[in-house]
């Protein structure tokens, strides 16, 4: 008899965004004439940069010719893309990596979920709260999160509150934690850490032999000078951090799937006997066994992001979304609502008025304004009383949504 992994049974019945989809579908069935504006799920709406499209066409033609056809590629990624990443994303910031420290993937979600494969099941875990649900759920699946306690918290997870009271900057833990997840610019709050603030985390990790898993999926949206684009801008981070990047929001690759993970060769973790093991070697072994690599066509498209034309086109797309964020932030503030984020990230973190719960305000906004958001409590206990709105919609939809919300709140 085959036995199930019972840790999966501890998970909530469905994923947050599946619950939202069900509620929206119910509304559409019961209100077929109402036009819904979706600003909840962080999917993009702008097309791929033309430079990427042209690169994909050229790659397809290569695959159609026996002389240039490519089969299995390297699990770690093709050198042409890795070299472009090092040259454009790190070298200008004074950060240097060898090609073997960069691993091309099908997106940051996959790698942040899979990185636990190379870490013991009984490591303690720390997360900022609220946070991207995948960080918690992937640890639940392997038994690392413990058991779900009253208040929707897991017993082996340390929650570091991010609230308006602390300006969404989590406090450094007063105890040692084995693994800490940081996501900046933050999903869902849209807030950031300055270099001095991020340095405190690196210093903590070095002093406590803690591994930081740093999700930098939204770094391309950063506007302010004192906000780091990479944790490796902080001295010593190569000894304590793994960094995850994604082209999904940067260049519209949500349906194409490509990202990369940096595992420095200086980074080690310990066995029970105290032997230090390089995590780069373990991650390489994991990828060679369980991942067959991102497609050649996709990687050629990603390489094109770094061409002058690609860089210009990506900037235009990011500017478009950040203009949406500005429009939304200003519109919501004009309606008398308390709003965070939207400056260095494409997310608006909105405080619900009068202590309304996240799910109740979500439903009120859906039924009264016909606008879809994401309940903040779905990102963790400290997300209660907030909702998240994304700036990835069409500009006209974002503008119309703000009009609807202002009109609804005036009733």
233: tokens are: 């801008």
Which residues line the annotated binding site for substrate? 15, 42, 109, 132, 187, 292, 388
Which residues line the annotated binding site for pyridoxal 5'-phosphate? 72, 108-109, 132, 187, 218, 246-248, 257, 292
Task: Write out the CATH class of domain 52-308.
Answer: alpha beta
Q: What is the DSSP letter of 43?
A: -
Handedness of CA 228, 231, 232, 235 (dihedral sign): positive
pLDDT at residue 347, rounded to an integer: 97
Which among 184, 164, 215 has a CA at the least distance from the CA of 386?
164
Where in the chain are the domains?
Answer: 8-47+311-410, 52-308
Residues 8-47+311-410, CATH architecture: Alpha-Beta Complex (3.90)
Which residues line the annotated binding site? 15, 42, 72, 108-109, 132, 187, 218, 246-248, 257, 292, 388
**Share of residues in the chain with pLDDT > 90 (%):** 95
Cβ–Cβ < 8 Å for 267, 241: yes
Q: Which residues contact 299 (CB under 8 A, 6 or more apart)?
A: 73, 77, 78, 80, 81, 104, 258
For range 209-227, the mean pLDDT: 97
Lowest mean pLDDT among 16-25, 75-84, 262-271, 327-336: 16-25
Instruction: Give the tens place of pLDDT for each residue, 260-307.
Output: 999 999 999 999 999 999 999 999 999 999 999 999 999 999 999 999
**Is residue 152 pLDDT above 90, yes or no?**
no
Which among 196, 190, 199 has a CA at the least distance from the CA of 168?
190
Instruction: Give the tens place of pLDDT for each residue, 83-142.
Output: 999 999 999 999 999 999 999 999 999 999 999 999 999 999 999 999 999 999 999 999
């Amino acid at each position: 008899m085959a036995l199930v992994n019972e840790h999966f049974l501890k998970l909530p019945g469905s994923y947050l965004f599946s619950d939202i989809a069900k509620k929206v579908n119910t509304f559409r069935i019961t209100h077929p004439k109402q036009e819904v504006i979706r600003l909840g799920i962080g999917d993009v709406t702008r097309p791929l940069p033309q430079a990427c499209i042209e690169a994909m066409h050229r790659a397809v033609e290569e695959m159609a010719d026996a002389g240039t056809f490519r089969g299995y590629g390297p699990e770690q990624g093709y050198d042409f893309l890795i070299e472009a990443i090092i040259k454009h994303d790190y070298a200008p910031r004074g950060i240097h990596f060898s090609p073997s420290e960069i691993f091309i993937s099908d997106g940051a979600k996959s790698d942040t979920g899979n990185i636990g494969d190379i870490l013991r099941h009984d490591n303690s875990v720390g997360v900022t709260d609220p946070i991207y649900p995948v960080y918690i759920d992937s640890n639940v699946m392997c038994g690392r999160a413990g058991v779900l306690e009253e208040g929707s918290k897991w017993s082996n997870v340390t929650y570091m509150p991010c609230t308006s009271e602390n300006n969404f900057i989590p406090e450094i833990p007063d105890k040692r934690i084995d693994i800490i997840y940081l996501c900046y610019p933050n999903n869902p709050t849209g807030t950031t850490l300055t270099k001095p603030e991020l340095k405190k985390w690196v210093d903590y990790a070095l002093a406590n032999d803690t591994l930081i898993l740093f999700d930098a999926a939204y770094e391309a949206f950063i506007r302010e000078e004192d906000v780091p684009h990479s944790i490796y801008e902080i001295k010593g981070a190569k000894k304590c951090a793994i960094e995850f990047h994604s082209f999904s929001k940067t260049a519209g690759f949500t349906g194409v799937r490509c990202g990369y993970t940096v595992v420095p060769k200086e980074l080690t973790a310990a066995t029970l006997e105290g032997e230090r093991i390089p995590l780069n070697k373990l991650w390489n072994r994991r990828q060679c066994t369980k991942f067959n690599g991102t497609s050649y066509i996709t990687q050629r498209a990603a390489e094109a992001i770094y061409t002058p034309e690609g860089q210009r086109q990506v900037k235009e797309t990011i500017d478009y979304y950040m203009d949406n964020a500005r429009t939304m932030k200003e519109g919501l503030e004009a309606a008398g609502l308390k709003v965070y984020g939207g400056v260095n990230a494409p997310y608006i973190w909105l405080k619900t008025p009068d202590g309304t719960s996240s799910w109740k305000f979500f439903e009120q906004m859906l039924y009264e304004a016909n606008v879809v958001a994401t309940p903040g409590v779905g990102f963790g206990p400290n997300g209660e009383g907030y909702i998240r709105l994304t700036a990835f919609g069409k500009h006209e939809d974002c503008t119309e949504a703000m009009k609807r919300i202002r009109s609804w709140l005036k009733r």
